[in-house]
Structure 1
Amino acid sequence: MAEQVTMNQDGTAAIESDGVRRRDFINIAAVSFAGVGAATVLIPLITQMAPSKDVLAEASTEVDVSAVAPGQTIKTIWRKQPVFIRNLTPAEVADAEGVSVDGLRDPQSLQDRTVEGRTNWLVTLGVCTHLGCVPLGAAQGEVKGEFGGYFCPCHGSHYDTAGRIRKGPAPTNLLVPEFAFLSDTVIKIG
């Protein structure tokens, strides 16, 4: 830093330096003040847009499937929508694998809709893809449709045991949510 001594009008010496001047300090202080002010406004604005605790609680759900016998379906709720969890019998797995994917409206194999190594467990949203009705076939004694899976009573869509659309106005298969096995008997949906 170079310093230079000059004489003021009253005869006193003044030292000028190339370092920080008063104007530089005022600029730094003003920018810092503006930054703190912006943070004070933006932090509450951003945090209020975050999902609430009840929404985060529904982001995923865990289901114990140890009591679900082969051929049985249970219903649960995830994100305020019904979910069907079906334990397919070996015969149902064989029937689903025997269907030619090329002939389906929404071509998906059973392996595409299940977790590798656990093709007997099918997890689908229990919402018809036509207009959002809840299909029958999950409870004991309900109509399962022509293909032994699910039947939508609103407009007559028939789904097979793998939740694939086979007949009726529904455009796509029952949706498979993201799910994983946490253990041999617990499924995490979401």
Structure 2
Amino acid sequence: MADTTATASTETVAQTDDGIRRRDFLDIAAIGAAGVGGVFIVYPLVSQMAPSKDVLAASSTEVDVSSIEPGQAIKAVFRKQPLFVKRLTDAEIAAANAIPTGSLRDQESLEDRTKEGHRDILVTMGVCTHLGCVPLGAAEGEVKGEYGGYFCPCHGSHYDTAGRIMKGPAPTNLEVPEYEFISDTVIQVG
């Protein structure tokens, strides 16, 4: 009798193990199928939020600075906004460095606003930080304001040669976008 109970309990354990194993396989298969189905549903929803190719193309701009003479500036476009790239003269660099940063509203030195090895190239967004007008001073013959940099004709903000706010309602300096020199003569903005 002891042998028959041992055999019966062994058969029950084997059936239970087979039942659990089959059930585990079905659970894993169902979860796997649901996961794959979830990916197929979620991926198009997430990927449609990615920027389009034309937006990615506008996310950076390359500017050749080799033709800019000292004292000259050029205007370019970066993310549909004006970009000023100016080669500073020695006198403009000296004038910017002569102003103590502690006396400025937005305290940045010229070194903070330019790249090491290219201290004579100033890259700023051509948008006044007050209400978004385009300042004058980047083109030849334009009014440069009282400090020889840029002048916003909308509300009278004056910027120095380093694009720092000196007078007027603008709260901060002209923005310096992220940029890097990809060669000695070409910068990549963005």
Normalised by the size of structure 2, how large is the TM-score? 0.90
Aligned to 2:98: 98
More strand by proportion, 1 or 2?
A: 1
Aligned to 2:139: 139
Alignment of 1:106-145 (within 5 A): 106-145=106-145
How many angstroms does 1:17 deviate by? Answer: 6.4
Taking structure 1 as reference, are residues 135 and 5 closer, same or farther at Cα in structure 2, changes over 3 Å only?
A: farther
More helix by proportion, 1 or 2?
A: 2
Structure 1 distance, partners of 2:66, 2:81, is 22
Aligned to 1:35: 35
Structure 2 distance, partners of 1:22, 1:70, is 80
AA partner of residue 83 (structure 2): V
1:143 alignment partner, SS class: coil
Q: Which blocks of at least 5 consecutive residues in structure 1 are unaligned? A: 8-12
Aligned to 1:166: 166
Taking structure 1 as reference, are residues 5 and 67 closer, same or farther at Cα in structure 2, changes over 3 Å only?
A: farther
Q: Which blocks of at least 5 consecutive residues in structure 2 are unaligned? A: 1-5
2:15 alignment partner, SS class: strand
Structure 2 distance, partners of 1:70, 1:98, is 19
Aligned to 2:180: 180
RMSD across aligned positions (CA): 1.8
Equivalenced residues, count: 182
Query: Does the aligned pair in 2 maintain the 1:70–1:89 contact within 8 Å?
Result: yes
Structure 2 distance, partners of 1:21, 1:98, is 81
Relative to structure 2, which stretch is displaced further, 15-24 or 84-93? 15-24
How many angstroms does 1:75 deviate by? Answer: 0.3
Structure 2 distance, partners of 1:24, 1:86, is 70
2:82 alignment partner, SS class: strand
**Is 1:53 the equivalent of 2:21?**
no
How many angstroms does 1:16 deviate by? Answer: 2.8
Alignment of 1:63-74 (within 5 A): 63-74=63-74
How many angstroms does 1:140 deviate by? Answer: 0.8
How many angstroms does 1:22 deviate by? Answer: 2.3
1:59 alignment partner, SS class: coil
C-alpha offsets along residues 60-82 of structure 1, whole Å, 9 cap, x if unaligned? Answer: 11111111000000000011110
C-alpha offsets along residues 80-106 of structure 1, whole Å, 9 cap, x if unaligned? Answer: 110000000011111111111111111
Normalised by the size of structure 1, how large is the TM-score? 0.90
AA partner of residue 45 (structure 1): L
Aligned to 1:10: none
